Amino acid sequence: MAALWWAVILSGAYHGLNPGMGWPLAVSAALMERKAVAMPKALLLLTTGHLLAMIAILLPFSLMIWLIEREYEIRLIASFIVIGMGIYLLINSKHPRYLARIHPAKLGLWSFLSAIAHGAALMLVPIYLGICQIAEDNGSTENSGHLAAQNLMSNDLFTALGVSLVHTVSMGLAGAFLAILVYFWLGLKFISQAWFNLDKIWACSLILVGAFGLYFNGTH
Amino acid sequence: MNKPMKPDPTFHASPILAMRAPVENFAFTIMLGKDTSHHDGLAVIDLRKDSKTYGEIVHQVIAPTIGDEFHHFGWNACSSSLSPLSGHAFLERRYLIVPGIRSSRIYIFDVKDPLKAKIHKVIEPEEVFEKTGYSRPHTIHCGPEGIYVSTLGGSGEDGTDSPPGIFIMDCETFDIIGIYELDRGEQDKHYDFWWNLPQNYMVSSEWGLPPQFENGVVPEDLVGGKYGHKIHFWDLRARKNIQTIDLGENYQMALEIRPAHDPTKSYGFCGAVADNTNLQGAVFTWWRDEDGKWQAKKTIAIDPRPEDPEDLPEIIKGFGAVPVLITDIDLSLDDKYLYVACWGIGEMHQYDVSDPFNPVLAGKVELGGIAKETKHPNGKDFVYGPQMVEVSRDGKRVYWTNSLYSTWDDQFYPHQEGGQMVMANVGENGGLTIDPDFYVNFPENMRAHQIRLEGGDCSTDSFCYPSV
């Protein structure tokens, strides 16, 4: 269980450190407005967008487990979706053009759509479903019957929000760390120097997480 | 396409970082066949000071077609890729997109290894017509949605059946995606365009429609104020014309748009070729005021030179003076110096535009010119006048060539033929001196047009972070 929560935190840091998820925009905002206070504002918009993307993807899954009660199949399908997204991104490195049409001041909207388009939110699904499963396994020894199902539903919902929040806080802190470092000490040169092409690694991360989901499903 | 692991080293977050980057090693200059029976091409010129072939054409790529009229061109990717918003951080600055404004054919040159530059892809005119309804492609800028291409003509045989505009190409496959405008407002002519990416505005200008330039300048249209004299302001990402400013009907041909490079600034310049009331050349400063409205006012006016009509070409004999003809302007990366090419009177001016509303003449050289024909300091001819100008990233070297447009060259300089590229050095505190040792004479029957510097220059790169 703890390992899965660590995965939530680490994936947040991974997303936050990736310049493609937006921290350079926070530096740019502070420099454009010539005041440092614009940076936390921009970071807040970016993380809010990211959080909403997480919730938008995880919430339907939490409802599905409750409504359909075929968790095994749902987890199987979810894993295949995540793997499929990874393979798609591996083959198609094109950046969706609609992201380029968003007004540069609408950072929250950009962050939201970007996290959806690049599968950032999807990456959390197998981890989230794993947490739900373990919670259920632990719970089933204590509870039984109708009451347990109700509890599980609200538990899954809270877990979805918890996973989204913990992931996004970690993402926001990691992004803020780099943004502050670049703004105050390292300078803009760091952006081109430290930006690594994560496209392939990112796609592989999705496949890996999806594969974990399949493995987990087989063992629980 | 396998992409590199790190951003292209020629991408710079801010203008100041681009200025501090290593200097240019090569120039890519358009070679324009002197008429439609000659091929156009791309010349690669060695700019490495310690090289044995410094200042020579070290490689040429000749187009297999004729009648293209290569004119302006640009890169597939530039410093704008360093914004996460663009999603293109790992493109290479590798391809030059070179449109033919006469044929509407577009060549893509691969210049990854400048000495082995080659043709990568050719887009046939029919594809441009079918997918866009535009013709006569011109200015190239890489931006948020891909590669933006301005056109001078619309549909139909002479390009006047519908208005010209901008279309977008995929920045990796170079497939034409479609037209840019969702609402063009009163824009009905086109020439140049550029933008400020973080502030999300674009500015475009107007030359004239194809019948007004393809067979030479039409004097009645010039005198009658029929050439373009408006500039248009756009919401870049919403693709909407938000405001049009008429510079005044007498300011004929509003050409180059040069926004300040520092994205915190909301102003720029536009050159107007000729004032048809007095033959002056004019430069306008445009800016956004406190209410968010765009404004423009004339900040530079250059007087024509009186001349004995006997010495003048037919086209301007009646005026008894040589018109200034501001055909190109270029702004250094620190937004300090604006270079103004006076193609008619044969002068290159350098203005200190630290205060963009009060430009101060800081340097000036004379070269070529109608009825003047000032020679290069090395004693050789410089045909026509100073035209396409490009400034090195560090702002210390200014390069220029001399052809304007084949049929116009022949009208204004009927007894001349050739192509040269020269360079001037910029002094510590401004001032301009022609370098006597840099003089590229183009091959026979080839004229010289726009210059691009390896790794980017002052009219290609858009920056998403301020200079601090």
Domain spans of chain A, in order of start: 2-219
Q: SS3 for A212?
A: helix
B418 dihedral zone (left: phi>0; alpha: psi -120 to 50; beta): left
Alpha helices in chain A (DSSP H): 2-17, 23-33, 38-68, 71-91, 107-117, 125-140, 145-181, 189-194, 199-219
Chain B neighbors of A196, CB-CB under 8 A: 5-6
Long-range contact pairs involving B347-354 (C-beta distance under 8 Å, separation at least 24): B347/B385, B347/B386, B348/B386, B348/B389, B348/B398, B348/B400, B348/B424, B348/B432, B349/B302, B350/B398, B350/B426, B350/B430, B350/B431, B350/B432, B351/B283, B351/B300, B352/B430, B353/B269
Whether the Cβ atoms of residue B195 and residue B260 lie closer than 8 Å to each other = no
Residue A67: partners with Cβ closer than 8 Å, 6 or more residues away: none
Whether the Cβ atoms of residue B251 and residue B323 lie closer than 8 Å to each other = no
CB contact under 8 A, B87 and A34: no
Checking if the pLDDT of A28 tops 90, the result is yes
Chain A neighbors of B87, CB-CB under 8 A: 20, 95-96, 99-100
Predicted pLDDT of residue A140: 60
Instruction: Determine the Cα–Cα distance for residues B160 and B151; give it in Å rounded to an integer.
Output: 12
Q: How far is A132 from chain B (nearest CA, A)?
A: 34
- A60 lies within 8 A of chain B by CB: no
Checking if the pLDDT of A143 tops 60, the result is no
Predicted pLDDT of residue A144: 53
Compute the Cα dihedral for B330, B18, B87, B83 and give only its sign. Answer: negative
B180 to chain A: nearest residue by CA?
Answer: A101
Q: SS3 for B450?
A: strand
Residue A8: how many other CB atoms lie within 10 Å: 21
Report the predicted TM-score, pTM, of the whole model to 2 decimal places.
Answer: 0.96
**Residue B189: pLDDT band with limits 50, 70, 90:** very high
CB contact under 8 A, A104 and B3: no
| Mutate which: A17, A21, A28, vs B, most B CBs within 10 A | A28
Predicted pLDDT of residue A67: 77
For residue B145, give the nearest of A19, A101, A105 by CB distance.
A101
Please give the average per-residue pLDDT across A176-184, as a whole number. 97
Out of A49-58, A102-111, A140-149, B44-53, pick the least confident: A140-149
What DSSP string describes B394-421? TSSEEEE-----HHHHHHHSTT----EE
Tell which residue, B444, B156, B226, B457, has the closest CA to residue B333.
Answer: B457
Count residue pairs from A and B with Cβ separation < 8 A.
96
For residue B198, give the nearest of A100, A104, A192 by CB distance.
A104
**Residue A134: pLDDT band with limits 50, 70, 90:** confident
Predicted pLDDT of residue A197: 93
End-to-end CA distance of chain B: 35
Chain A neighbors of B5, CB-CB under 8 A: 196-197
Q: Over chain B, what is the mean pLDDT?
A: 97
Whether the Cβ atoms of residue B347 and residue B400 lie closer than 8 Å to each other = no
CB contact under 8 A, B7 and A97: no
Compute the Cα dihedral for B82, B88, B90, B93 and give only its sign. Answer: negative
Q: If 0-12 CB within 10 Å is exposed, 13-18 middle and 19+ buried, where does residue B131 land?
A: middle
Percent share of chain B, pLDDT over 70: 100
Instruction: Determine the Cα–Cα distance for residues B192 and B194; give it in Å rounded to an integer.
Output: 7
Chain B neighbors of A95, CB-CB under 8 A: 86-88
Q: SS3 for B313?
A: coil
CB burial of B219-258 (b: ≥16 within 10 Å; e: otherwise) equals eebbeeebbbbbbbbbbbbebebbbbbebbeebbbbbbbb
CB contact under 8 A, B263 and A191: no
Please give the average per-residue pLDDT across A92-121, as a whole number. 93
- B465 lies within 8 A of chain A by CB: yes
Kindly list the distances between the CA atom of residue B167 and the CA atoms of B91, B130, B137, B141, in Å, as whole numbers in the listed order: 20, 12, 9, 11
Please give the average per-residue pLDDT across A92-103, as a whole number. 89
**ipTM confidence:** 0.93
The per-residue pLDDT for range B159-175, each reduced to its tens digit, is: 999 999 999 999 999 99
Which of the 8 DSSP states describes residue B317?
G
In the chain, the amino acid numbered B81 is S
End-to-end CA distance of chain A: 13
Cα maximum dimension of chain B: 64
User: Phi and psi of A157, rounded to 5°?
Assistant: -65, -50
- Domain B15-453 CATH superfamily: YVTN repeat-like/Quinoprotein amine dehydrogenase (2.130.10.10)
Whether the Cβ atoms of residue B258 and residue B272 lie closer than 8 Å to each other = no
Checking if the pLDDT of B257 tops 60, the result is yes
For residue B84, give the nearest of A24, A97, A199 by CB distance.
A24
Predicted pLDDT of residue A70: 76
Q: Which two tokens stand for residue A45?
A: 């918009």
Checking if the pLDDT of B152 tops 80, the result is yes
**Residue A65: pLDDT band with limits 50, 70, 90:** confident
Predicted pLDDT of residue A40: 97
Q: How far is A3 from chain B (nearest CA, A)?
A: 31
**For residue B397, what are the β-bridge partners?**
B425
Q: Which two tokens stand for residue B299?
A: 């900040």
Tell which residue, B20, B8, B10, has the closest CA to residue B468.
Answer: B20
Instruction: Give the helix/strand (H/E) hosting B122.
Output: strand B118-123
- CA B304: distance to chain centroid? 23
Predicted pLDDT of residue B26: 98
- B456 lies within 8 A of chain A by CB: no
Checking if the pLDDT of B154 tops 60, the result is yes
B363 dihedral zone (left: phi>0; alpha: psi -120 to 50; beta): beta
**Residue A142: pLDDT band with limits 50, 70, 90:** low
Please give the average per-residue pLDDT across B244-259, as a whole number. 98
CB contact under 8 A, B198 and A101: no
Checking if the pLDDT of A86 tops 60, the result is yes
Tell which residue, B73, B79, B85, B74, has the closest CA to residue B10.
Answer: B79
B275 dihedral zone (left: phi>0; alpha: psi -120 to 50; beta): beta
